[in-house]
Amino acid sequence: MLSQQVKDYLQANRQRHLEELLPLLRIASVSSQPACQPACRQCAELLAGQLGQLGFDAQLRPWRDHPLVLARRAADRQGAPTVLLYGHYDVQPPEPLELWQSPPFEPVVREGKIFTRGASDDKGQLFAMLKAVEALQACDRPLPNLIVLLEGEEEIGSPDLERFLTGARRELAADYAIICDSAFFAPGLPSLTYGLRGLVYVEIAMRGPAADLHSGTHGGAAPNPLNAMVALLAALQDAQGRVTLPGFYDAVVPLTLQERQAWRKLPFDPQAYAALLGTQPTGGERGVDLLERRWARPTLDFHGIVGGYQGPGAKTVIPAAVSAKVSCRLVANQQAGQVVKSFRQFVAAHTPPGIRSEIQVLSESLPVLVPLDSPAMAAAAGALYEAFGRKAVFVREGASVPISELFQRILGIQPVLMGFGLPDDNLHSPNEKLELEQYYGGIVAVAAVLSNLAGKDSLAGKRG
Ligand SMILES: [Zn+2]
């Protein structure tokens, strides 16, 4: 439990904690726009300065176009565990500007919500982590060893972050990692994300004749790589919507009865979801629950096929070369490398005589599935209850959060995804907002989880 003293401190300092967030929100740190590079740097400097004031040894690490902020603060107690906190200071472009009710980088509070680009994703959430540290420090409460990693390229896909983490593996060694960059499942319903899907994305190329050919003169004799490609793609799924790659489902961890029951209780409205799609949610495997298909089952989707004549009207061509982009979302414990291997074998086996095929891997990441009964999860769930007065639900997410997978794979830490945005925060859209109660509650929650973890012993010895 968070001490009453810390709670009173946070209550008394709400207005200041809001005011101190504003300068950060005013900086247009759009990582995708080269003109914003100085702004991004300014943002990183501001954060490093704030961390310095909190007693951190804070540095800017030059990294690609936007520096990383890396800060450390030692605990008073020997044997205290180390907690790695992650957030990102870069934001999505604000365009289209005409749809904003107030300028995107002039934070305005309306009806208990603060509107600016980056308010929820992710400046408000990362700043809450800093304010939580401030509160514990001001009230003389013990803190764990802390490492804060703030990234400036999350919104452009964290290119090459893997290389940084690999190089900084020792420096970043920690017992626990907390990522504040996600949202509640529904308003009033704190959520902990314990599962994320991984990805294998490939491009398949097929070549046949040396040049495009006349289908009248050579049709029936020349092998057509486009015919071969569509036959291959069609063979990748069966009539039940199952992926036919050999061994594809072998490692899939089935949903437990407990998870299934818990998910059925979530306030999820399939009608509203269908309305969002603009069609019925009929994709994926037949006979499998909708949330399970989105969160806990692997998928296969085609993203583009190129080959032959794409212009208006008819052109009777047998193309020389074609290609297709295909990806699979993976779930625990599928191995991306194994799926790629299976893809290669499948494509080779479905390449007819006279056609040459080639496969290129464009992206791969592993799924994440964090045990629900870990000490960090328990601490996070308790902290959310303390902050928001309601038991947290455990949810998964269909997409990947690259940093979680990297923490797990490179640093060997099971991340806790404990965000406090809301589903209607308009992330990446005009009029992004963060509700002030979510911000203040987020500070309480982070303070509570840090306070709890500070009392545990470092796992370093056991980890080896
Ligand atoms: Zn984010």
Q: Which residues pair with 205 in a beta bridge?
A: 323, 358
pLDDT for residue 463: 47
DSSP per-residue letters across 24-70: HHTS--BTT-GGGHHHHHHHHHHHHHHHHHTT-EEEEE--TTSPEEE
Reported confidence tier of residue 459, pLDDT bands at 50, 70, 90: confident
Residue 142 CA, ligand 1 centroid: distance in Å = 29
Average pLDDT over residues 271-280: 94
Map out the domains of the chain as residue ranges. Answer: 4-196+367-463, 202-247+298-365
Residue 2 CA, ligand 1 centroid: distance in Å = 27
Average pLDDT over residues 274-279: 94
Tokens standing for 286? 């037949």
Residue 274 CA, ligand 1 centroid: distance in Å = 26
Residue 421 CA, ligand 1 centroid: distance in Å = 10
Tokens standing for 413? 């830490």
Report whether pLDDT(431) > 80.
yes
Torsion of CA 375, 381, 383, 386, to 10 degrees: -140
Phi, psi of 406 (to 5 degrees): -65, -40
Reported confidence tier of residue 181, pLDDT bands at 50, 70, 90: very high
Report whether pLDDT(402) > 90.
no
Average pLDDT over residues 232-259: 97
Report the alpha-carbon distance of residue 137 to residue 6 in Å, rounded.
Answer: 9
pLDDT for residue 7: 97
Do 202-247+298-365 and 4-196+367-463 have the same topology in CATH? no
DSSP per-residue letters across 302-359: EEEEEES--SSS---EE-SEEEEEEEEEE-TT--HHHHHHHHHHHHHHT--TT-EEEE
- DSSP 8-state class, residue 399: S
pLDDT, tens digit, 9 for 90 and up, residues 331-349: 999 999 999 999 999 999 9
Residue 215 CA, ligand 1 centroid: distance in Å = 51
- Fold type of domain 4-196+367-463: Aminopeptidase (3.40.630)
Report whether pLDDT(410) > 80.
yes
Q: Which residues pair with 83 in a beta bridge?
A: 146, 176
Average pLDDT over residues 44-50: 98
Neighbour order of strands in the sheet with 198-207: 301-307, 321-330, 198-207, 356-365
Residue 58 CA, ligand 1 centroid: distance in Å = 22
Residue 126 CA, ligand 1 centroid: distance in Å = 10
Which is nearest to 168 in space by CA: 430, 407, 461? 407
CATH entry 3.30.70.360 includes domain 202-247+298-365: yes
Q: Which amino acid is at 343?
A: F
Residue 287 CA, ligand 1 centroid: distance in Å = 33
pLDDT for residue 432: 98
Residue 134 CA, ligand 1 centroid: distance in Å = 23
Burial 418-433 (b: 16+ CB within 10 A, else e): bbbbbeebbbeebbbb
Report whether pLDDT(62) > 50.
yes
Tokens standing for 305? 């096929």
Average pLDDT over residues 226-248: 98
Cα atoms in the 13 Å half-sphere on the side-chain side of 366: 20
- Percent of the chain residues past pLDDT 90, beyond the cut: 95
Report whether pLDDT(462) > 70.
no
Residue 140 CA, ligand 1 centroid: distance in Å = 31
Which is nearest to 83 in space by CA: 94, 74, 92, 95? 74
Residue 124 CA, ligand 1 centroid: distance in Å = 10
Reported confidence tier of residue 464, pLDDT bands at 50, 70, 90: very low
Tokens standing for 77? 């107690």
Report whether pLDDT(160) > 90.
no
Residue 337 CA, ligand 1 centroid: distance in Å = 27
Report the alpha-carbon distance of residue 430 to residue 432 in Å, rounded.
Answer: 6
pLDDT for residue 416: 96
Residue 121 CA, ligand 1 centroid: distance in Å = 4
Q: What's the alpha-carbon Rg for the chain, to the nearest Å?
A: 25
